Amino acid sequence: MLLQTQNLTMKFGGIMALKDVTLAFESGKISAVIGPNGAGKTTFFNACCGVYTPTAGQVTFGATPLNGKLPHQIAHMGIARTWQNLQIFPQLTLIENVMVGGEMRDHASGFVASMLRLPGVVSKENAAKAKAKYWLDLVGLGDRAETLAGNLAFGQQRVLEIARAMATSPRLLMLDEPAAGLSSTERDALMTVIRRIRDEGITVLLVEHDMRLVMQLADYVAVLNYGELIAQGPPSEVQANPDVIKAYLGEDE
Amino acid sequence: MRFRSFIPVLVVGFVLALVPSLSESKQLLGTFIFAGVYAIAVIGLALFSGYAGQPSMGQAGFCAIGAYASAIVATKFNLSPWVGLLAAGAMSGLVGWLIGSLILRLSGHYLAIGTLGFGIIVAALLKQWEWTGLSSGMRNVPRFEFFGDALKSEAGYYYLVLVILLLVIVLALNLVRSRPGRALRALHESEIGAEMLGVDTATAKLRVFVLSAVLGGIAGSLYAHYVGSITPDTFEFTISVEMLVMAVIGGVSSVWGAALGTAFIWGLSQAIKALPDVLNSIVKIPSITQFELMIFGTILILVMIFMPEGLLPTFTRRKRSG
Amino acid sequence: MEIFLATLPQLIVLGISLGAIYALIALGFVVIYSVSNVINLAQGEFLMLGALIFVAVVDLVAQPIGAGLAVFLGLLVSFIATGAIGGLAYTLAFRPAIDRRASVQTLIIISMGVSIVLRAFGNLMWGVDPTSTPAFLPGRTLKNMGLENVTGDSLRLGGVIVQTQSFWIVIALILTVLGLYFFFNRTMTGRALRACAMNPDSARLMGVPLSRMSLIAFMLSAGIAALAGAIIAPMQPVLYTMGLGLGLRGFVSAIMGGIANPVGAIWGGLLLGIVEAVIGGLPQMDVPLLGKVNPASLREAIAFVILLAVLVIRRLRGASGLGGKRFGL
């Protein structure tokens, strides 16, 4: 199991956003967390990757507990993510956006070296650029590398976030509603990209509204409702679960 | 630094190097020297406020620390002014690190007022320190020694400031175009986005804050050794505000913009000073300084309304920052 | 030290009257910020203009209509004229920038430009010599009314000496707060302003004209600052530079209270006033490194140290407490 949560609980004021969520996600698979609006999916993501400090409970990555770690420390351990409300850097070009992720292990060093532009700096930068280009090509944005990210269409910004996250060479990729706002062609392209990422041996965890996409992609699905885990298992099983139908599928279709 | 981006530095350096041969007016060279000293501090401020997007209203506080450190080394310990320059950078950097560790936890308006408070505290403490002459400050700060009296003339000092300024521009450009610079620009746009890509945003901000403090300190030292006397009021908080205006008006996310903004504000105030003489012969103006200030304020407002990104980005519309 | 403790009640009373002024200025910051998201650093200049206009009006009409009526007329003219200047500043300087979607930083710089222009205007109109004006209720009037314990324009109450003008300051604060409360809760315009402050987008969708609301906010804030200026006019030299320090303190008070929180701004102002007054009364001390230090001259610096401590502690609490959000999302 790559990522595990143990009784994860998150309270905001008096509101219980997550309640005793215990889950485990298997290495090398595509897993999904689903649920109706306000079910706590994004909160679950934020609590896992250090954006929120959980009120109670544990998050473990591999064998390491994540509690109390800051997002950048979690990123360094091998977790990358995208954002439902997009956190791209609009005034940076696409290639610069992706390079920020690719240069992760070097951010801490080289402040002075960069000012003097020592030879090591240049070669590292070229390597980061090549890696960034690889991921931009893979998601189909390679020809727009020098455009400002703010000029991209919404759907392309989503894909850019995936390229950027992949440039950090993660072991786990967390996608927060990757298909929201995408056209059906873009959606299909997205599924190809996600499968491709899984085939490289990277574990994928996604939060998604689009049930069709989840059912086609995911090997394992967990369902949240009002912050509580109500079902988990392979997509076909979850789809047939009466609780899930009542809470989610029933009102959706 | 790639050669192509080196060209503007060479051109600007070459043009500015001609100034002393065009005019021997001590006053004119003095004006250029002040502008150059300001530009060094403003570039420091632009790295922190512009690239990293963190408002600072306390840059003059670091200039004060640098100026006093330099003056103390030279007059109290009788060491070479060069040692003073190094001490100025080190001291303001150290204070920057201490203060930054504390107040960089704040953000937005809270950070702005925190840095403002820092500047006011520095000036107030200097006024209380008997050793440094209380409100009347320090005098007889010597010039730098270099090939005898080479830096004692206005032209000599001008070249010293020019060389340091160009060096600062090159180093700053290198920084913003490489990894740490990208990380700073990224955290400016989305702090959490940058964090999640492995950028230690707290450390990155602290580092650039220290750098900006060091540049402020160096500017303060250059000022002290040029003018020869300093008082706490030399570095009061309106100077911090003026520096922020210079950084913003040039185009705050840009090293060249900071330099341009300094030149613009400096040139503008010089030009306006000449204007009342002309007007005064037509209508009587009660207070020339206040009249200047009104024009200055009005231009500031107009530039901010019509060119909110600052002068440089508006004129060049470039794609990349640099 | 004993002397200091003995004067403590006196210092606190002084602090409250200072603080009430800071609170009034801070309220101006809060009203503008809440409605239009502008940090208006020109608040202090509105105060300065208010004080100068007040003094000018009182000087002009005190002889023909009598001191009491002159004060009333002065307050009215000062409120309206400065309010109009505030409206003008919004229309000419802020609105064009807001219409072009200027950033917060741009708007702050514009407000600095407005301060520079207004300060220069104050100087051109009224010169560099400080003027002053008599207290609203001079000591001799009180004496004539049969009150004892009056020295100059001060009144002895128990062991505490209070300037008569301090009463007016506190009354002004209370009346202003009541007035604002009534305005924001009971009038249509006030309610529309509150709607803008809470949610500008939905307010606009519901047909509230945002720019007119901002105009009103600027006029109102400038008017409040002018009142503050008029009321402290008898207590300190009235001069074109007076806005700088007072504006800064109002800003600090507003920030301490949490910039969009009027009640916080009032507490912030009172706290700052009391802290300043108490520090001002501390005896001279030996401080390592600095030598002999007179705390009174470090008032401003100490006030900022306290402000920084408040801000950092508040931030740390918010960040590290369980269940807290670490990043503003």
pLDDT exceeds cutoff 60 at C98: yes
Q: How big is the A-B interface in CB pairs under 8 Å?
A: 117
Structure tokens at C30: 């809060």
For A207, residues 6+ apart whose C-beta sits below 8 A from its C-beta are: A32, A33, A34, A41, A42, A44, A45, A84, A174, A175, A176, A177
For B236, residues 6+ apart whose C-beta sits below 8 A from its C-beta are: B60, B119, B123
Higher pLDDT residue, A45 or C209?
Answer: A45
Which of the four pLDDT bands, split at 50, 70 and 90, describes residue B124?
A: confident
Structure tokens at A34: 């689903």
Express each pLDDT in B56-80 by its tens digit.
Answer: 888 999 999 999 999 999 888 888 8
Q: Are B192 and C327 in contact (CB under 8 A)?
A: yes
* pLDDT in the model for residue C321: 30
Q: Are C117 and B294 in contact (CB under 8 A)?
A: yes
Please, which residues bridge with residue A52 across strands?
C325
The DSSP-derived string for C193-251 is HHHHHH-HHHHHHTT--HHHHHHHHHHHHHHHHHHHHHHHGGGS-B-TTHHHHHHHHHH
Express each pLDDT in C101-129 by its tens digit.
Answer: 887 778 888 998 999 899 989 988 888 88
- A chain contacts of residue C318, beta-carbon cutoff 8 Å: none
Where do the H-state alpha helices sit in B197-254? 201-227, 237-251
* pLDDT in the model for residue C320: 36
* pLDDT in the model for residue B39: 93
Coil vs helix vs strand at A12 = strand
Any idea of the CA torsion for B67, B70, B73, B76, to the nearest 10 degrees? -30
Regarding an ipTM greater than 0.90, the answer is: no
Coil vs helix vs strand at A99 = helix
Choose among B172, B179, B181: nearest Cβ to A106. B179
* pLDDT in the model for residue A78: 92
Chain C: give the shortest CA distance to residue A118, in Å: 34
Express each pLDDT in A16-35 by its tens digit.
Answer: 888 899 999 999 999 999 88
Contact flag C323-A11 (C-beta cutoff 8 Å): yes
pLDDT exceeds cutoff 70 at C160: yes
Express each pLDDT in B174-204 by its tens digit.
Answer: 998 888 888 988 988 888 899 999 888 888 8
- C chain contacts of residue B298, beta-carbon cutoff 8 Å: 113, 117
Coil vs helix vs strand at B297 = helix
Express each pLDDT in B255-313 by its tens digit.
Answer: 888 888 888 888 887 777 776 666 666 655 556 667 777 887 888 899 888 887 777 76
Task: List C residues 272-301 in contact with B (Cβ-Cβ < 8 A).
Answer: 287, 289-294, 297-298, 300-301
Q: Are A27 and A2 in contact (CB under 8 A)?
A: yes
Chain B: give the shortest CA distance to residue A116, in Å: 6
Summary mean pLDDT of chain C: 84
Q: What percent of chain B has pLDDT over 70?
A: 89
Structure tokens at C242: 């007076």
* pLDDT in the model for residue B107: 77
The residue count of chain A comes to 253
Sign for the pseudo-dihedral over CA of A42, A46, A51, A52: positive
pLDDT exceeds cutoff 80 at C77: yes
Q: What mean pLDDT do residues B162-166 have?
A: 94
By 3-state DSSP, what share of chain A in percent is helix, strand and coil, each rounded to 5? 45, 25, 30
Choose among A107, A110, A124: nearest Cβ to B200. A107
Contact flag C308-B117 (C-beta cutoff 8 Å): yes
Sign for the pseudo-dihedral over CA of A166, A171, A174, A180: positive
Site from A114, A148, A158 to mutate, B interface, most B CB atoms within 10 angstroms: A114
| A153 φψ region: left (φ > 0), alpha (ψ -120 to 50), beta (else) | beta
Q: Which one-letter DSSP state was computed for residue B47?
A: I
* pLDDT in the model for residue C319: 44
- B chain contacts of residue A88, beta-carbon cutoff 8 Å: 189-190, 193
Contact flag B200-A72 (C-beta cutoff 8 Å): yes
Cα separation of B30 and B155, whole Å?
A: 9
CB-side neighbour CA atoms (13 Å) of A75: 30
Express each pLDDT in A59-85 by its tens digit.
Answer: 999 889 988 888 999 999 999 999 988
Q: In what order do the strands lie in the sheet with A64-65?
A: A15-25, A3-12, A56-61, A64-65
Residue A249: count of CB within 10 angstroms of its CB? 18
Q: What mean pLDDT do residues B3-7 have?
A: 73
- A chain contacts of residue C326, beta-carbon cutoff 8 Å: 50-53, 70-71
Which of the four pLDDT bands, split at 50, 70 and 90, describes residue A105?
A: low
Task: List C residues 290-329 in contact with A (Cβ-Cβ < 8 A).
Answer: 320, 322-327, 329
Higher pLDDT residue, B251 or A154?
Answer: A154
Q: Are C73 and B268 in contact (CB under 8 A)?
A: no
Which of B238-247, B282-291, C62-71 has the lowest average pLDDT? B282-291
Cα separation of A217 and A210, whole Å?
A: 11
Which of the four pLDDT bands, split at 50, 70 and 90, describes residue B322?
A: very low
Contact flag C97-B109 (C-beta cutoff 8 Å): no
Closest residue, chain B, to A76 (C-alpha): B198
* pLDDT in the model for residue C27: 94
> What global pTM score does this model have?
0.85
**Residue whose C-alpha is closest to residue B92's, from B70, B110, B113, B116:** B70
Q: What mean pLDDT do residues C83-97 have?
A: 95
pLDDT exceeds cutoff 60 at A245: yes
Which of the four pLDDT bands, split at 50, 70 and 90, describes residue A253?
A: very low
Please, which residues bridge with residue A3 across strands?
A25, A61
* pLDDT in the model for residue B30: 86
pLDDT exceeds cutoff 60 at C3: yes
* pLDDT in the model for residue B320: 43
Express each pLDDT in C275-313 by its tens digit.
Answer: 888 888 888 777 777 677 777 778 778 878 878 887 888
Cα separation of C54 and B216, whole Å?
A: 42
**Residue whose C-alpha is closest to residue B103's, from C6, C215, A204, C312:** C312
Structure tokens at A119: 């030879």
pLDDT exceeds cutoff 50 at C329: no
Q: Which one-letter DSSP state was computed for residue A149?
A: G
